[in-house]
Amino acid sequence: MPSRYESLVRRLYRTNLYNPVKLGLNNIELLLGRLECPYIKDGGEGRKAKIIHIAGTNGKGSVAYKIASTLTEAGVKTGLFVSPHVSSFRERCQVDFECITEAEVTEYLPNIFDKCRESDIPATFFEITTALALEYFKARSVDAIVLETGLGGRLDSTNIVESDIAVVTSIGLEHTRILGDTVELIAKEKAGIFKPGRPALIGVDLPTNVMEDHARDVGTKIVYTRPPGETGNFTEMDFDAQNSEIAGRAIEEALKIKGWEKIRRKVERGHIDIGLSRRPPCRYETKTTTGENGKQITVILDVAHNPPALQQLIKKLDAEHPGRKLRFVVGMSSDKDLSLCAKTILSRVEAKQIHLVEAVHPRAAKLEDILSAGGPPLSGCNYNLTSRGVSVQTSLALNLASSSSSDEIVVICGSVFLMASAREAIGIIEPRDSDFIAKEAGANLRADLQEHFGNRVLSEDEGEDLDEAGDDDYDDVDYD
């Protein structure tokens, strides 16, 4: 029998089956108005938390995490809203890096559903989840909020808040049927989070003309992470350094803002250094586990899920662990270039060092399809058509690494869909969704991309674009 929490979250995931994906801010504006949210214009009573709003093609999740880490380290009660999650829905809403509890979800979510029903608001998964996060932050009386957009910026449901500073980390071609088919058009959508009279920080090597024009129209000024045209000395595998520089600059600018004096007095250089050193889960996350024979095994988890991401991952591995033998546990989504993914990994290791897995998700690539795409060079890899899941091959990889005479590193990479099971297999203890929730999450593929542009229902092509994006585009190409 499912718990009340499980039933509510399952209902939330099913929302988009009944409410068509429309693009616009009307729903979230009506919903937050009914909830008397204090973080929107003319909002309700409550603590007016300081808000940092972050958009970008790559890096936005990492930058949000680093900023929130810094503030929390300094003793500033900080709400963090991010997406998608790795192991539990509750990861999306955090205060001082503690996830919202099942009891709190059970307390706040029914009221949000009721407000939608009473006012006939056809809110979608992402809008309701945004409202849940803000209700949670209000109840916890946070001093600061770090909000990551879902997709785009201008009409993302998070853009309803009155932020103190906007940050755009990077611009690249993504979801072109929704955001636009040029970097300039996408940049304009991302710049839509700029607010009048509030600083707007942009990352390195963005289309500054578009950003400057939009800032001028809005009535604000651009703050540059680095002077225009200066890309810095970052190597192609140095995304973490770039994200850290953007996050550090954002903190520096935020602390200058009038009204941030209380927070400014708390934040010291040491807090910033600690915060910037941290990474979100599964972004080149390094763990150590113990093999059957007591040997310590290094495990690296990374959501590199397409050929460019895998290439960057391998370059970073070689740079940080030159000459080390690698063993890959990998599972992909069916819409990726499986042949090129296989070739990329095979360029670094022999087939016998590869373990293929199939996540329990409708978009997971079948083992047969990966094997077919990889062709004869992949024929000597490890897989099990009877037990296709992540845990079996992860355990085998750890056992082989443990018994190897070489100091092997086990690299678990690919789709975000496999990471929860992989983390459990290597002994990470954390909140984790039950199968009752996870199966529903996988069945409703558009759940994490409910930005709303205008008030039109998505066309068939645009809907397909959302399906192609899905939760697997975990901060897109954020190979830090």
pLDDT at 331: 96
Q: Is the pTM of this model over 0.75?
A: yes
Please give the distance of CA 155 from its chain centroid, rounded to a whole number: 18
What backbone torsions phi and psi does residue 11 show, to the nearest 5 degrees?
-60, -40
DSSP letters for 365-413? PPHHHHHHHH-GGGTTSB--SSS-SHHHHHHHHHHHHHH-SS--EEEEE
pLDDT of residue 176: 43
Say which DSSP state 118 is in. Answer: H
DSSP 186: H
- Residue 35: what pLDDT? 96
Instruction: Extract the residue ranges of the chain whose pLDDT is less than 50.
Output: 174-178, 444-480
pLDDT at position 232 = 62
The SS3 of residue 298 is strand
Beta strands at 200-202 and 222-224: parallel, antiparallel or unpaired: parallel
Is 389 in contact with 364 (CB distance < 8 Å)? Answer: no
